[in-house]
Chain A
Amino acid sequence: MIPYIANTKKDVEEMLKCIGVESVDDLFKDIGPKHSPKSFNLPSGKSEFEVVKKLQAIACKNTSSLINFVGGGYYDHYVPAALSTVMSRSEFYTAYTPYQPECSQGFLQALYEFQSSICTLTNMDIANASLYDGGTALYEAAMMAIRVTKRNKIIMDGGVSPIYRKILKTYTSNLNFEFEETPVTHGHSDRDKISELLDKDTAAIILQNPNFFGAIDDHSDIIEQAHSKGILVIESVYPISLGVLKTPGEMGADIVVGDGQSLGLPLNLGGPYFGFMATKKKYVRKMPGRIVGETTDKQGRRCFVNTLQAREQHIRREKATSNICTNAALCALQGLVFMSLLGKQGFKELAELNYKKGEFARQTLEKIKGVEVKRSSPTFNEFTVCLSKDACYVVEQMINKGFAAGFPLGRYYKGMEHYMIIAVTEKRTKEEILNYAKALKEVLKDKS
Chain B
Amino acid sequence: MELIFEKSVDGLRGYLNPNSDVGDAKVPSKYTRKEAAKLPELSELDVIRHFSRLSKRNFGVDTHFYPLGSCTMKYNPKFTEKIAAMPEFADMHPLLPQLKQGEKLVQGSLEVLFEMEQLLCEITGMDAFTMQPLAGAHGELTGVMMIAAYHKVKGNKKKYIIVPDASHGTNPATAAIAGYEMICVPSDKNGVIDLEKLKEVVTDEVAGLMLTSPNTHGVFNSDIEKIADMIHAVDGLMYYDGANLNATLGRCRPADVGFDIVHINIHKTFSTPHGGGGPGAGPVGVNKKLIPYLPISRVIKDDKGFYSLDYDYPESIGYIASFYGNFSILLRAYAYILLLGKEGLKEVSNMAVLNANYIKEQLKEYYDLAYDRHCMHECVFSASKQAGRGVHAIDIAKFLIDQGMHPPTVYFPLTVKEAIMIEPTETESKSTIDWFIEKMKEADVLSKKSPEDFKDFPKTTPVSRPNEVKAAMDINTSYFI
Interchain CB contact under 8 A, A323 and B220: no
A185 on interface, CB distance cutoff 8 Å = no
Q: A14-B430, A347-B39 are in contact. Are A64 and B276 (CB under 8 A)?
A: no
Per-residue CB contact flags for chain B residues 169-192 toward chain A (1 = under 8 Å, else 0) read 110111111110010000000000
Residues of B within 8 A of A430 (CB): 21-22
Q: For residue A176, which residues in chain B have a CB less than 8 angstroms away from its CB? A: 179
**Residue picked from B58, B123, B334, B406, most chain A C-beta under 10 Å:** B58
Q: How far is the CB of A156 from chain B (nearest CB, A)?
A: 14
- In the complex, whether A90 has a CB less than 8 A from a CB of chain B is yes
Candidates A36, A164, A245; contact of B322 at CB < 8 Å:
A164
B336-380 interface code vs A (CB 8 A; 1 in, 0 out) = 011111111111101101110110011000000000001010000
Determine which of B11, B23, B335, B342 lies in contact with A43 in the assembled complex, contact meaning CB atoms within 8 Å.
B342
Return the 3 tightest CB-CB contacts between A and B, nearest first: A270-B323, A45-B341, A329-B276
Q: Which residue of A5, A61, A111, A320 is within 8 Å of B427 (Cβ)?
A: A5
Task: Provide a sorted-by-A list of 5 A–B residue pairs whose CB atoms are within 8 angstroms.
Answer: A99-B409, A169-B319, A170-B320, A174-B178, A430-B22
Identify the closest chain B residue to A407 (Cβ): B95
Identify 16 new A-B residue pairs, CB closer than 8 A, beyond the known A266-B90, A353-B20. Answer: A31-B248, A48-B79, A54-B338, A62-B106, A91-B59, A116-B479, A121-B37, A175-B145, A269-B92, A305-B466, A307-B468, A313-B137, A314-B168, A345-B36, A360-B25, A396-B99
Q: How far is the CA of A66 from the CA of B88 in the complex (A)?
A: 11
Nearest-Cβ distance from residue A97 to partner chain B, whole angstroms: 4
A268-312 CB contact bits vs B (8 Å, 1 = yes)? 111110100000010010000011111111110111110110101
Q: Judge whether A5 and B426 touch: CB under 8 Å.
A: yes
- Min C-beta distance of A157 to chain B, whole Å: 17
Interface residues on B, range: 35 or more
Chain A residues, Cβ within 8 Å of B273: 93-94, 330
Give Cα A102–Cα B64 distance, bound, in whole angstroms: 14
Residue from B82, B340, B361, B461 within 8 A of A19 (CB atoms): B361
In the bound complex, do residue B14 and residue A342 qualify as a contact, i.e. CB atoms below 8 Å apart? yes
- How distant is the Cα of A38 from the Cα of B127 in the complex, in angstroms? 13
Return chain B residues, CB-CB under 8 Å to A134: 322
Are A242 and B33 within 8 A (Cβ)?
yes
By the criterion CB–CB under 8 Å, are B88 and A346 in contact? Answer: no
Given A97-B277, A101-B463, are A132 and B173 also a contact pair (CB < 8 Å)? no
Most A C-beta atoms less than 10 A away, residue of B61, B334, B342, B466 = B466
Q: For A35, what are the chain B residues with a Cβ–Cβ distance below 8 Å? A: 222, 224-225, 251-252, 256-257
Q: How far is the CA of A319 from the CA of B173 in the complex (A)?
A: 7
- Please tell me if the beta carbons of B76 and A125 are within 8 angstroms of each other in the complex: no
Residue in A136, A327, A353 whose beta carbon sits within 8 Å of that of B277 in the complex: A327
Q: Are the CB atoms of B73 and A96 closer together than 8 Å?
A: yes
Report the Cα distance A167→B228, complex, angstroms.
32
CB distance from B339 to the nearest CB of A (A): 5
Q: A38-B256, A62-B107, A298-B464 given as contacts; is B15 within 8 A of A82 (CB)?
A: yes
The reply to whether A94 and B277 contact each other, CB–CB distance below 8 Å, is: no
Shortest beta-carbon distance from B145 to chain A in Å:
4
Known A325-B170, A326-B280; judge A271-B111 contact (CB<8 A). Answer: no
**Interface size range of chain A in the complex:** 35 or more
Interface segment out of the listed A21-29, A193-201, A365-373, A436-444? A21-29
| B77 / chain A contacts, CB cutoff of 8 Å | 3-4, 48
Contact segment of B46-54, B199-207, B230-238, B383-391: B46-54
Against B, the Cβ 8 Å flags (1 = close, 0 = not) of A341-367 are 111111111101101110110000000
CB distance from A104 to the nearest CB of B (A): 6
In the assembled complex, the Cα of A247 lies from the Cα of B27 at a distance in Å of: 14
**Which chain A residues (1-35) contact chain B, with CB distance < 8 Å?**
2-8, 11-12, 14-16, 18-20, 24, 26-32, 34-35
Residue on B with the closest CB to A111?
Answer: B276
B48 contacts A170, C-beta separation under 8 Å:
no
When C-beta atoms are compared, the residue in chain B nearest to A68 turns out to be: B93
Interface residues as binary, B82-110 with A (CB distance below 8 Å gives 1, 0 otherwise): 11011111111111111111101111110
Interface residues of A in 170-209 (CB under 8 A from B): 170-171, 173-176
Q: Mark B17-42, 1 if CB is under 8 A from A, else 0.
A: 11011111111101111101111111
A339 touches B (CB below 8 Å): yes
- Is A61's CB under 8 angstroms from B145's CB? no
> In the bound complex, how far is the Cα of B148 from the Cα of A390, in angstroms?
40
> Is there contact, CB below 8 Å, between A82 and B48?
yes
Given A130-B278, A132-B134, check contact A92 B322 (CB 8 Å). no
A308 to B472, CA, bound (A): 5
- Please name all residues of chain A whose beta carbon is closer than 8 Å to the beta carbon of B471 when the two chains form the complex: 293-295, 305, 307
- Given the known inter-chain contacts A126-B477, A243-B37, A341-B15, please indicate yes or no for A62 contacting B276, CB distance below 8 A: no
Q: Would B343 and A268 count as touching, CB distance under 8 A? A: no
A427 to B6 alpha-carbon distance, docked (Å): 31
Whether A126 and B173, one on each chain, are in contact in the complex, defined by CB atoms closer than 8 angstroms, is: no
Q: Mark B239-255, 1 if CB is under 8 A from A, else 0.
A: 00000000010111100
Chain B min CB distance to A68 (Å): 6
Q: CA–CA, A303 to B55, complex, Å? A: 15
Contact A80 B357 (CB under 8 A): no
Closest residue on chain A to residue B255 by CB atoms = A38
Residue A333 lies at the interface, judged by CB distance under 8 Å to chain B: yes
Among B108, B331, B346, the residue within 8 A (CB) of A60 is B108
Cβ of A307 and Cβ of B477 under 8 Å apart? yes
B89 and A268: CB pair below 8 A?
yes
Assembled-state Cα–Cα distance A68/B94 (Å)? 12
A12 to B221, CA, bound (A): 26
Chain B CB within 8 A of A416 CB: no
Chain B residues whose CB sits within 8 angstroms of the CB of A164 once the complex forms: 322
Find B149's partner among A174, A266, A308, A357 (CB 8 Å cutoff): A174
Is B17's CB under 8 angstroms from A350's CB? yes
Residue pair A39, B141 in contact (C-beta under 8 Å):
no
Asked if B300 is at the interface (CB within 8 A of a chain A CB), the reply is: no
Q: Does B301 have its Cβ within 8 Å of any Cβ on chain A?
A: no
> Are the C-beta atoms of A96 and B322 separated by less than 8 Å?
no
Expressed in whole angstroms, the Cα–Cα distance for A256 and B105 within the complex equals 34
Q: Are A268 and B92 in contact (CB under 8 A)?
A: yes
CA distance A12 to B14 in the complex (A): 51
Q: Which residues of B contact A429 (CB under 8 A)?
A: 21
Q: Are A91 and B55 in contact (CB under 8 A)?
A: yes
Q: Residue A346 contacts which of B13, B267, B466 (CB distance < 8 angstroms)?
A: B13
| B429 CB-CB contact with A under 8 Å | yes
A271 touches B429 (CB 8 A): no
Shortest C-beta distance, A430 to chain B (Å), equals 4
Q: Does the CB pair A95–B134 fall under 8 Å?
A: no
Q: Tell me which residues across on chain A come within 8 A of B446, comparing CB atoms.
A: none
Which residues of chain B come closer than 8 Å to A80, judged between CB atoms? Answer: 14-15
Which of A14, A48, A56, A89 is B52 in contact with, Cβ under 8 Å? A89
CA distance A171 to B461 in the complex (A): 44
Q: Answer whether residue B5 sits at the interface, using C-beta atoms and an 8 A cutoff.
A: yes
| A20: chain B residues within 8 A (beta carbon) | 361
**B313 CB within 8 Å of chain A:** no
A19 vs B362: C-alpha distance in the bound complex, in angstroms? 8
Contacts of B11 in A (CB 8 A): 345
CA distance A119 to B109 in the complex (A): 35
Q: Is A55 touching B477 in the complex (CB atoms < 8 A)?
A: no
With A107-B276, A356-B24 as known contacts, state yes or no: A408 contacts B92, CB within 8 Å.
no
Separation of A268 and B21 alpha carbons in the complex (Å): 28
Query: Shortest distance in angstroms between B73's beta carbon and chain A's nearest beta carbon?
Result: 6
Chain A CB within 8 A of B317 CB: yes
The answer, among A170, A330, A360, for a CB contact under 8 Å with B319, is A170
Asked if B225 contacts A34 (CB within 8 A), the reply is yes
* A267 touching B361 in the complex, CB below 8 Å, given contacts A48-B79, A110-B51, A324-B135: no
Give the nearest-CB partner of A43 in chain B. Answer: B341
Asked if B140 CB lies within 8 Å of chain A CBs, one says yes
Rounded to whole angstroms, the CA-CA distance of A59 and B339 in the bound complex is 17
Q: Does A448 contact B (CB under 8 A)?
A: no
- Tell me if A149 is interfacial: C-beta within 8 Å of chain B: no
Task: Please give, as numbers and ranges, the residues of chain A lying within 8 Å of B104 by CB-CB distance.
Answer: 63
